[in-house]
């Protein structure tokens, strides 16, 4: 049967693929430590679950307006006003089946063939493929470890052309945790405003998962003109640990919201009816819960950073936000371990899964092939055990050399060099 060129031009989501593979291995009885899943390991709080159970029991089981109930969209408006200082009306809010779905709708509603979308790398895996699905052209600009994975205004200026329709901003970032300061966002906003019609698509799904008292603001709020030029994307997957529920939302100007609503009404219709009252509860009452998670993630962040840097060939600075360790593995590329040579992030991840039974996501899906991503939204025991296994799998194989002491020194050299 024919498959479309549209479907053929994209890849399956690598993050979901690694997670599924690790789950499958576990189901087969293999003892895998998984750092794949980009989801909090905490259960959804009971008071949110109870609200959904109550809605289900009371017959909230029918279609709702395609963009979500008015009550839910009003609750989103209150959230954006109180927490982000952004004023919207319910007609500007579209609730969808996850922030991924919101982003999909945005690109479908916004792009014409050949329109360019600037995406800073490392990027979350789905942005370029969603742009391609909408016949757009991803324009990738890269920021590495040395710039703390943050692009400069100058880089953005050089990447934008008359064909630039949007710039994706994801702060805090998946996979790097990089979090732009309000001043840095203002400088990027100034560059976007140099182009009369370009907009920011601001993915703020990790806004509450930041460390060391770092300030997080929306790019929509850094200059008065920016609100009209920003599409804010957020959801409950991360901050209320509701990944399986599928709830995300976008806030924008009314014309784009109407176009998204039209697309949603002809595709998925409304987000699930009986989760919507529970999403209001989650929007209003998950502050203590997220604070508790962030405290736990912070401890794990420190530990995983320490353990990663203790492995010869791997390096990483303390991530600023989100719950991912994006480790630089260039020190092990081209080396042979247990007879397996690893030349890129895919081969390294494959080797770690086969030999150490540890699942990590290769950096190539995020636009940086020298790195691997480990989600530390998992228990401290898993972190200790997983990193022990990685260290062992990447230990210098003494059979390659009769001078063990020399080998140990050589490893130290890679690290420092």
Q: Report the interface residues with ligand PMP, using CB under 6 A.
A: 38, 98-100, 124, 170, 174, 203, 205, 235, 237, 243, 248
Look up tokens 């003109």; give the residue: 225
Could you list the beta-strand ranges (E) of 192-314: 199-203, 230-235, 248-251
The reply to whether 246 sits near ligand GLU by the rule CB under 6 A is: no
355, 347 contact by CB (below 8 A): no
Q: Residue 235: which of ligand GLU, ligand PMP, none does it interact with, CB under 5 to 8 A by kind? A: ligand PMP
Q: Which residue is nearest to ligand PMP (CB)?
A: 98
Look up tokens 């009769």; give the residue: 402
> Smallest distance, Å, CB 339 to ligand GLU?
31
323, 36 contact by CB (below 8 A): no
Q: Which of 13, 142, 309, 344 binds ligand GLU (CB under 6 A)?
A: 13
- State which of positions 51-70 bind ligand GLU (CB under 6 A): none
Look up tokens 């995406």; give the residue: 119
Residues in the chain: 417
> Smallest distance, Å, CB 183 to ligand PMP?
22
Stretch that binds ligand GLU, among 10-18, 107-115, 254-262, 303-311 (CB under 6 A): 10-18
Nearest of 192, 271, 230 to residue 92 by alpha carbon: 230
Across the strands, what pairs with 96?
A: 248
**272-301 burial: b if 16+ Cβ within 10 Å, else e:** bbbbbbbbbbbbeebeebbeebbebbbebb
Give me the phi and psi of 79, to 5 degrees please. -60, -50
Whole-angstrom CA distances from 37 to 22, 198, 323, 376 are 9, 33, 10, 9
Site track 123-162 with ligand GLU (rule: CB under 6 A), x = hit:
--xx------------------------------------
> Smallest distance, Å, CB 162 to ligand GLU?
32
Q: Which of 38, 68, 277, 386 binds ligand GLU (CB under 6 A)?
A: 38
**11-46 burial: b if 16+ Cβ within 10 Å, else e:** eebbbbebbeebeebeeeeeebbbbbbbbbbeebbe
**Gap between the Cα atoms of 317 and 59, Å rounded:** 50
Q: Residue 99: which of ligand PMP, ligand GLU, none does it interact with, CB under 5 to 8 A by kind? A: ligand PMP
The reply to whether 286 sits near ligand GLU by the rule CB under 6 A is: no
Q: Which residue is nearest to ligand GLU (CB)?
A: 38
The reply to whether 364 sits near ligand GLU by the rule CB under 6 A is: no
Question: Counting Cβ atoms within 10 Å, is residue 132 exposed (0-12), middle (13-18) or buried (19+)?
Answer: middle
Nearer to ligand PMP, 174 or 328 (CB): 174
Nearer to ligand PMP, 128 or 312 (CB): 128
Nearer to ligand PMP, 88 or 124 (CB): 124
> Smallest distance, Å, CB 283 to ligand GLU?
20
Q: What angle do CA 23, 298, 30 make, to 5 degrees?
A: 20
- 361 Ramachandran zone, left/alpha/beta (phi>0; psi -120 to 50): beta
Nearer to ligand PMP, 248 or 277 (CB): 248
> Smallest distance, Å, CB 40 to ligand PMP?
11
Nearer to ligand PMP, 283 or 332 (CB): 283
Q: Residue 203: which of ligand GLU, ligand PMP, none does it interact with, CB under 5 to 8 A by kind? A: ligand PMP
Q: Which of 64, 66, 174, 286 binds ligand GLU (CB under 6 A)?
A: 174
Contacting positions for ligand GLU (CB under 6 A): 13, 15-16, 38-39, 100, 125-126, 174
């Amino acid at each position: 049967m024919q498959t479309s060129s549209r479907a053929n031009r994209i890849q399956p989501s690598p993050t979901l693929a690694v997670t599924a593979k690790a789950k499958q291995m576990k189901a087969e009885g293999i003892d895998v430590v998984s750092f794949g899943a980009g989801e909090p390991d905490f259960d959804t709080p009971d008071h949110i679950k109870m609200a959904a159970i109550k809605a289900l029991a009371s017959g909230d089981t029918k279609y709702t307006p395609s963009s979500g109930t008015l009550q839910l969209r009003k609750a989103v408006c209150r959230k954006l006003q109180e927490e982000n200082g952004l004023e919207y009306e319910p007609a500007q809010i579209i609730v969808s089946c996850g922030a991924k779905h919101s982003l999909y709708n945005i690109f479908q509603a916004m792009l014409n063939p050949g329109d360019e979308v600037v995406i800073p790398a490392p990027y979350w895996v789905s942005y370029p493929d969603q742009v391609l699905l909408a016949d757009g052209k991803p324009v990738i600009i890269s920021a590495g470890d040395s710039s703390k994975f943050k692009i400069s205004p100058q880089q953005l200026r050089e990447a934008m052309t008359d064909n630039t329709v949007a710039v994706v901003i994801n702060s805090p970032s998946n996979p790097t945790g990089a979090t732009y300061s309000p001043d840095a966002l203002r400088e990027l906003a100034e560059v976007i405003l140099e182009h009369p019609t370009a907009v920011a698509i601001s993915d703020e799904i990790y806004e509450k998962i930041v460390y060391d008292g770092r300030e997080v603001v929306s790019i929509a709020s850094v200059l008065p003109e920016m609100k009209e030029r920003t599409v804010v994307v957020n959801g409950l997957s991360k901050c209320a640990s509701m990944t399986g529920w599928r709830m995300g939302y976008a806030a924008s100007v009314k014309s784009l919201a109407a176009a998204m609503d039209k697309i949603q009404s002809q595709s998925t219709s409304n987000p699930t009816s009986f989760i919507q009252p529970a999403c209001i509860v989650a929007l209003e009452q998950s502050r203590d819960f997220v604070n508790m998670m962030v405290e736990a993630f912070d401890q794990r962040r420190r530990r995983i950073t320490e353990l990663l840097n203790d492995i010869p060939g791997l390096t990483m600075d303390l991530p600023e936000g989100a719950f991912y360790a994006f480790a630089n593995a260039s020190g092990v590329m081209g080396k042979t371990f247990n007879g397996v040579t690893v030349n890129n992030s895919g081969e390294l991840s494959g080797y770690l899964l086969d030999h150490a039974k540890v699942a990590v996501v290769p950096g190539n899906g995020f636009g940086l092939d020298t790195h691997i991503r480990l989600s530390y939204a998992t228990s401290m025991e898993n972190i200790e055990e997983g990193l022990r296994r990685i260290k062992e799998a990447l230990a210098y194989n003494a059979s390659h050399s009769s001078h063990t002491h020399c080998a140990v020194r050589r490893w130290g050299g890679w690290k420092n060099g």
